[in-house]
Amino acid sequence: MKKVKVFITLKESVLDPQGQAVMQSLHNMDYKNVQDVRIGKYIELQLDDSANVAEEVDTICDKLLANTVIENYRYEIEEEVHS
Amino acid sequence: MKTAVIVFPGSNCDQDMYYAIKDGLGEEVDYVWHAETSLDGYDAVMIPGGFSYGDYLRSGAIARFAGIMPAVVKAAQEGKPVLGVCNGFQILLESGLLPGAMLKNKNLKFICESVNLQVKNNQTQFSSLYDQNEVIRIPIAHGEGNYYCDDATLQELEDQNRIVFTYSGENPNGSRADIAGIINETGNVLGMMPHPERAADALLGSDDGLRLFQSILKHWRESTHAAYTS
């Protein structure tokens, strides 16, 4: 079993209104050193072992998890250890 | 003209759309459940607004893989008119039938109000009964209507005259180039955030939306008449 951690972020060229609102709040809280805030998504998948997990995850991200018009994704594949 | 209104779990403008066509246009219309796989026999397809699948992941992202969607793509490829309103527009973007994507409104608020739209292209089968540059009043109701596309796509939309409606006056959601509605290359798929079906009767405050449906019907009658006489 593989555990896949998928991180989805807005592309640099895309304005993030949520991130801007959070940054404003941080500035109001006196965290003046915060220069930028970008909000993304974190998704965990569990997959049965197969030879081409990475290939499969790429397809899953391209097709459904991310909208590549506005988002980038990256992921980490870990061995799932059962206790 | 026989029209299909697609119903997803979470659609909430399907009945408005149904009545705009049935009572506003006086034409035949059916609800078609998302799990169906065929749209054979329908002349036009409407994808209504709402929150299909709870807008989980992204608006329209899950609806785009519903059982009915291959039939919607087929109808679009066959040249049938396909109209996506609000969540329907988001589904058309996710499915790749129209270019671009939606972001959260610039002010992060869900906006529900009547807005002024300008008709930027009245040479389409959805807008032929409007005057060029006419300003019409149609309601919007969305949290993610901030249309985004890259520079190359915007250039293409402008060069090919595919921006059909823009917000007139203040842009409510921050969309690129004030875009409120765009059409595909072949001119038979329109996506728009404003709700013409909610402005299809003067009793609702505006009947400016009715002419959009009447334009579709007019084009359908002319094209079927042409087919019979050619």
Q: What is the pLDDT of residues B201-225, one digit of tens each?
A: 999 889 999 999 999 999 999 998 7
The whole-number pLDDT of residue B6 equals: 98
Which residues are registered as beta bridge partners of B136? B117
Interface test with B, best of A12, A64, A68 (most B CBs within 10 A): A64
Give the ipTM. Answer: 0.84
The whole-number pLDDT of residue B84 equals: 98
Question: Between residues 1 and 30 of chain A, which touch chain B (CB distance below 8 Å)?
Answer: 13-15, 17-18, 21
The whole-number pLDDT of residue A80 equals: 82
For residues A67 and A59, give the distance between their C-alpha atoms in angstroms, rounded to a whole number.
Answer: 12
The whole-number pLDDT of residue B133 equals: 98
DSSP secondary structure string, A17-78? HHHHHHHHHHHHTT-TT-------EEEEEEE---TTHHHHHHHHIIIII--TTTEEEEEEEE
Identify whether B219 is a catalytic site residue. no
What are the structural domains, with CATH classification, of chain A? Answer: 2-79 (3.30.1280.10)
Identify whether B13 is a catalytic site residue. no
The helix or strand, by DSSP H or E, that contains position B159, with its residue range, turns out to be: helix B151-159
The whole-number pLDDT of residue B204 equals: 87
Select the residue of B100, B101, B108 nearest A18 (Cβ to Cβ): B108
pLDDT along chain B (230 residues), means of 10: 97 97 97 97 97 94 96 98 98 97 94 97 98 98 97 98 97 97 98 97 93 98 77
Question: Between residues 139 and 198 of chain B, which touch chain A (CB distance below 8 Å)?
Answer: 146, 148-150, 174
Q: Which of B13, B144, B149, B195 is catalytic?
A: B195
Q: How far is B188 from chain A (nearest CA, A)?
A: 23
pLDDT tens-place string over residues B132-175 = 999 999 999 999 999 999 999 999 999 999 999 999 999 999 99
What are the structural domains, with CATH classification, of chain B? Answer: 2-229 (3.40.50.880)
